[in-house]
Structure 1
Amino acid sequence: MPASSPWLAFVLAALAAIGPFSIDTYLPAFGAMGEALSASPLQIQQTLTAYMATFAFMVLWHGALADHFGRRRVLIVGTALFALASLVCALAPSIEWLWAGRALQGMVGGAGMVVGRAVIRDLYEGEHAQRLMSRVMLIFGIAPAIAPMIGGLLLALGGWRTIFFFLAVFGAWLSFLTWRYLPETLAHEHRHPLHPVLLARAYRRVLGSAAFVLLAGAVAFNFNGFFLYVLSAPTFLMKHLGLSAQEFGWMFVPSVIGMTAGSALSGRVAGRWHSRRTIVVGFALMAGAALANVLVASLMPPGLPQSVLPIMLYTFGMALSMPSLTLLALDLFPTHRGLASSCQSFLQVGINSLTAGVLAPVLWYSPLTLAAGMAGFLTLGGIGFVAWCRRAVGCVR
């Protein structure tokens, strides 16, 4: 497939969608899984933690492996193993087996996201990279909306195990798409050895870069302002808003409308706006959304549409700023893009895991605590960007 093929964005977005599908598709089935496996709500919630903990660890290695073996090979093997791990979940006889299957899914589920970003930077520079990144996010943004609706439908048709059989088929399909359509974008002469000393030096260089950590941290904290609601969806939607397992689209569809609109605007302004201007506008939109969310939760009873509209505005600003923040971080290490992408994902998913295992169960107590959590994450993201901006030359242009 040529680098200019319109199918490239679709394949890369489908690979990145493994993450949302792994998390969002089975959210409507939490109650059914708890009953079938005699597990408590906290034990079911820990299936998310098991997934994201191994996900966070392995994303450190997907990029290094792709820098050594090439992009295609890592993606093909990773998606095939994801399909096998999904079968383990589908056939799990106990909560312990489900934890194990989810941990196996997490070990390979990040390859598409990490390596896909490196593929974009292999192929394009500057505004062209931002446009492709925005196009990928535009397609990728549909996944969080359709995943819980697919999960709710599969739950009604065949039970919770059907959801994991679906994920197994999805993984196998992605493995075929990659083998059939994705080109190898890393030439042999640009590959790096897996020597432990050299890798340690490279990781230390990337993770020891204050500029990289600040930019990657801004991406991670901004995303967690929305991800908190994804993790808390069963409680937020079913308990606070009184919706059913088949009505998760009331939150996810508006959220994805915001995300796709923000990604589309990011692609449209690429080459017209300086990347820092795009980021600042995105932060301004997220700040307005977070403030509105706190006010709605404080002054109005939970309900539709007032409880979900601020989330839509937040995802709009998040998607507008994320491509530029991501590319600024990757551009700091042009000869180790795969490894840098791994480090960025490691920071993001590490914060995701902390949110899933510790913060979400505390903050989903009420709509107001969730709104405060969103505002808190955004504040941390803004601090990271401002701190980086003060170090950068010409940041205010």
Structure 2
Amino acid sequence: MVLLLAGLSMFGPFTIDTIFPAFPAMGAELGADKLAMQQTISFYLVAYALMSIVHGPLSDALGRRRVILGGLVVFIAASVGCAMSEDLGTLLVFRVLQGLSAGVGLIVGRAVIRDVLEGAAAQRLMSQVSMIFGVAPAIAPIIGGWLIGWSHWTSIFWFLVAFSALLLVATWRGLPETLPPSERSTLAPRVLWNDYRMIAVHPHFQRLAASAAFNFGALFLFIASAPAFVLDLLQFRGEPLDEQDFAWFFVPMIGGMMLGAWLSGRVAGRMDPFRQVALGFGVSAAAMVLGLGYNLAVEAPQVPWAIVPVAMNSFGIALVFPILTLMILDLFPRHRGAASSMQAFTTLVLNSVLAGVVSPLLSHSALWLTGAAAGLMVLGWGFWVWEARVVRGRR
């Protein structure tokens, strides 16, 4: 179950990160500049965000397994279309189709975890899935760099076809249905609208979802800016990096995330969740201070030192995220799919803005990226402090 849920959550990040090393080659062949190529990420994320509202309620009504299988079939077809695209417009159309289907594994998978487990056991499983899932952003650009070095950029999308087909077979054979028919909801538009409105206006959901979105946004800003950050800003001993060097950025960053997820699983049931979240935000705050100080002190960021604050921040986020997610799901025990969708939608809307607007404006400077990330982290922390005070005031 852990391996399968982690794999299902991985093909979304794979869809973003594997194409980063191919941006120069894709842009040259498709006649697109850096800003236009950035839209292959923002179009995907907008579609992902919009469809994320639907995945959860579909799984609440039709069952988890059926929705995941259907999403994988659509994703395979979309990846084939991307591989066969001959112009940027066609590629963007199929990237949108990828975005419409890629969220089933992550969004519905969270509901599956809460269907079968609760309390500390659910936190441990969520942390284990997060730890394995963290491999995806680390190895995806490395795989993309290898593929673009060996073959044409379209081979990256054929790789996604193969990976998602493997997940389709594994899901068909290994994922049981975790939501019995007696507990399923209806797809009636009025009922769905009422469910979403109930979740969206819930003050605890608003604070927790905002905290999770802004906190992760501090890391995602660097992920969305990875092509410019790695290829244009980072240096090793005074020399710029190339398409084969994305590991300098992604491996430490995801290493920090995996370590944080592992620690979260180890302390589940032993450490008070509020204390764990405070610890995670404390680590992220220290990372931001270190990052701002380093970028103010140097003219050009050098690896590995420029990556240390990013890795620290990912460690802190991994301590925070499982707790916030489980708190959100526990608010709506009969609408976990819809709650997971709403949380994902909140995060993805912010990520779309970061990828399509903020990143192109700030990715010319490591200092500006770090400053914006620090601001996002502070916003996430502020919403958490607000929620913690309300909850503790009721005890």
**Which TM class, normalised by the smaller chain length?**
over 0.9
- Written as runs of structure 1 = structure 2, the 5 A alignment for 1:245-394 is 245-300=243-298, 301-393=300-392
How many Å separate the matches in 1 of 2:393 and 2:203?
18
Does the CA-based 8 Å contact 2:30-2:87 persist in structure 1? yes
Give unpaired runs (5+ residues) of structure 1.
Answer: 1-7
How many Å separate the matches in 2 of 1:220 and 1:160?
32
Superposed displacement of residue 373, structure 1:
1.3
The CA RMSD measured in Å over matched residues stands at: 1.0
Percent identity for Structure 1 against Structure 2: 46
How many Å separate the matches in 2 of 1:284 and 1:394?
22
Superposed displacement of residue 372, structure 1:
0.4
How many Å separate the matches in 2 of 1:296 and 1:102?
37
Does the CA-based 8 Å contact 1:89-1:102 persist in structure 2? yes
Which amino acid is 1:24 matched to?
A: D
Aligned to 2:113: 120
- Written as runs of structure 1 = structure 2, the 5 A alignment for 1:12-27 is 12-27=5-20
Which amino acid is 1:195 matched to?
A: A
Aligned to 1:46: 39
How many Å separate the matches in 2 of 1:41 and 1:98?
15
Aligned to 1:55: 48
- Note the alpha carbon deviations across 1:303-355, whole angstroms, 9 max, x for none: 01111011111101100111011101111101100000000000000100010
- Pick aligned residue for 1:234 from 221, 227, 230: 227
Which amino acid is 1:274 matched to?
A: D
Match of 1:192, SS state, is coil
- Note the alpha carbon deviations across 1:60-86, whole angstroms, 9 max, x for none: 000000001100000011011101100
Which amino acid is 2:33 matched to?
A: S
Which amino acid is 1:255 matched to?
A: M
Superposed displacement of residue 391, structure 1:
1.4
How many Å separate the matches in 2 of 1:119 and 1:143?
20
Match of 1:342, SS state, is helix
- Note the alpha carbon deviations across 1:31-52, whole angstroms, 9 max, x for none: 1000111112111110111100
- Note the alpha carbon deviations across 1:146-193, whole angstroms, 9 max, x for none: 000000000111121000111111111111111110110000000001
How many Å separate the matches in 2 of 1:333 and 1:184?
20
How many Å separate the matches in 1 of 2:256 and 2:277?
16
How many Å separate the matches in 1 of 2:389 and 2:261?
26
How many Å separate the matches in 2 of 1:268 and 1:381?
24
Superposed displacement of residue 393, structure 1:
2.9
Match of 1:266, SS state, is helix
Superposed displacement of residue 259, structure 1:
0.5
1:201 equivalent to 2:199? Answer no
Does the CA-based 8 Å contact 2:213-2:380 persist in structure 1? yes
* TM-score in terms of structure 2 length: 0.97
Superposed displacement of residue 103, structure 1:
0.2
Does the CA-based 8 Å contact 1:216-1:347 persist in structure 2? yes
1:81 equivalent to 2:74? Answer yes
How many Å separate the matches in 1 of 2:341 and 2:309?
31
Does the CA-based 8 Å contact 1:134-1:263 persist in structure 2? yes
How many Å separate the matches in 2 of 1:75 and 1:173?
13
Does the CA-based 8 Å contact 1:130-1:327 persist in structure 2? yes
How many Å separate the matches in 2 of 1:394 and 1:162?
55
**Large movers: runs of 4+ above 6 Å:** none
1:156 equivalent to 2:149? Answer yes
Which amino acid is 2:250 matched to?
A: F
How many Å separate the matches in 1 of 2:353 and 2:117?
34
Aligned to 2:237: none
Does the CA-based 8 Å contact 2:17-2:141 persist in structure 1? yes
How many Å separate the matches in 2 of 1:206 and 1:50?
26
1:213 equivalent to 2:212? Answer no
Superposed displacement of residue 281, structure 1:
0.3
Does the CA-based 8 Å contact 1:77-1:175 persist in structure 2? no
How many Å separate the matches in 2 of 1:89 and 1:42?
19
Superposed displacement of residue 394, structure 1:
6.1
Which amino acid is 1:77 matched to?
A: G
Aligned to 1:136: 129
Match of 2:333, SS state, is coil
Superposed displacement of residue 217, structure 1:
1.2
The size of the alignment, in residue pairs, is 389
